[in-house]
Chain A
Amino acid sequence: MKKIIVFGIVIVCIGLMYQYPHAMLNPGELVDGHQKLNDKCLACHNPFWGISNDKCISCHKLSEIGKDTLMLNDNSKEKTLFHQNLSDQKCTSCHTDHKGIKPEYSLSSFNHEILNTTEINKCNSCHTNPTDNLHKQLTTACNNCHNTKGWKSSVTFNHDMIQGDAKQNCASCHKIPDDSFHQQVKDNCDKCHATSKWKPSTFDHSQYFQLDENHNAKCNTCHSNNNFSIYTCYGCHEHSEGNIQQEHNEEGIFNFTNCTSCHKSGNEHDIIMNGNSNQKLNQKELNNVKDYIRSQEKDKKKEHGEKKEHDND
């Protein structure tokens, strides 16, 4: 009895598969153009032997593939009907089916190396040129930057290909870094960065403060919260607010909040006042500068005292 049941199930299943192969076996929809073959598996498949090129070519002539489907950006050019040179390739090495009705789903993989040199350099006979501002300025020699392994893999972009003012408009392609330092910079990127690579930048910190061996610190030691527009010298060694205040008051200096306006390096004798370094001044001139600063500070104090008396009156 069991054998009869098993035999019956097998017969029923085979019968259903024979009668309704699409419903019983179809691993996915055929492309739109092949829909009429839904129940004709053997139209393409040779059981146990795969799909022969002959079955494809009996409908799709190699010399005509692409005549109606290939896009061409420049109408003056001829279409590159590259399939006619691929008679030694298996159709199934690039094409598949049962992936859905949209034709683009039926391209499983494509190895550009099967193309000859002439064909491989005519990228836009198959591919559409990108329409963004960057690509509009460039030539159609895609292989200057891209390779055939993938549009975005190993891109070797040469900025020299950009013409005219567009070369100065970095932000049209690159995102401006969102840290507060870069947000406040008004100059063009090339003031600090080269087109060859973003890092290291050519930003010259010594214009503001020289990072010598004693000040070779991480950015956030002086610039807290990733805010490069402010800094602090307090918190390191003898640079406590009390010490700094005492030292400057001894010299008659009371406005000492912006350290780098006078100190451009860690050398305590290299002080710049009114745009002059004290290392370029003789002692007499230096004393004159100090006297001038003291008189300025005294005038400020006096003015402040008079104002206070006037307010009390």
Chain B
Amino acid sequence: MKQPLLIKYVLPFIQWYALMIFLAISIDYFLHRFQLVSIGRYLGFIGTFVIIISFVYSLRKRKIIESGSPKQLLALHEYLAWIGSIMLLVHAGIHFNAFLPWLAIVMLLIAVASGLIGKFLLKKANETLKEKKQALINTGISPEDADKKLFFDSITVDLMKKWRVVHLPITLILGILALMHIITIVMFSK
């Protein structure tokens, strides 16, 4: 029996997302436990730098640079952005002070979620949906009836597509908020 898309693809995606949050909380706990909280401040610099490095993929995709395998650069973008996000989450900690950095963190979480959807779900889900539909049509069912039978899966894929669409603007807003956070820190930190 074929598993629904939710179990086959959505749950693994949630696992990766949850792993990121779990690692961030664990590292933050470790730093507080051993009185190394100042490291969290520097993780902000490192995490930002790691994420910026990952944007080499975006430059390649838009043909601003010509060298490098897009597939490999995409994998690099995915992993570096995921690791950098963990560092930034540790950097943020659980300190509810100013809105600006917290807005940036919320945007970061949304951007990572939309990115993970792109990585783990959308392509495979689309392929699986098409295979399922074709299989139903092959049994003599009309395309309309096949769509009705696959209603739940179609809804899931549509939702994923919407998440994927927000990846770029959310990342852009994240970049603006992060830049403002950095500028204000430089302005007032001394």
Contacts and interface: CB of A to CB of B under 8 A. Distances in A.
Given A5-B169, A26-B98, A13 B180 contact: yes
A25 B100 contact: yes
B64 interface: no
Secondary structure at the B interface, as helix, strand, loop or mixed, is helix
A28 B93 CA distance: 13
B36 interface: no
Contacts of B169: 5
A77 B117 CA distance: 71
Contacts of A24: 98-100
B188 interface: yes
Contacts of B165: none
Given A23-B98, A25-B100, A28-B97, A10 B190 contact: no
Interface in A96-144: none
A5 B95 CA distance: 29
A280 B186 CA distance: 90
A13 B100 contact: yes
A41 to B, nearest CB: 6
Interface stretch (A46-54, A146-154, A183-191): A46-54
Contacts of B98: 23-27
B180 A17 contact: yes
Give the interface size class of chain A. Answer: 20 to 34
B97 A27 contact: yes
Interface in B171-190: 172-173, 176-177, 180, 184, 186-188, 190
Nearest to B180: A13
A6 interface: yes
B176 A45 contact: no
B177 A47 contact: no
Contacts of A9: 173, 176
A14 B100 CA distance: 10
A186 B172 CA distance: 77
A25 B190 contact: no
Contacts of B180: 10, 13-14, 17
Interface in A25-67: 25-28, 41, 45, 47-51
Interface of A: 2, 5-6, 9-10, 13-14, 16-17, 23-28, 41, 45, 47-51
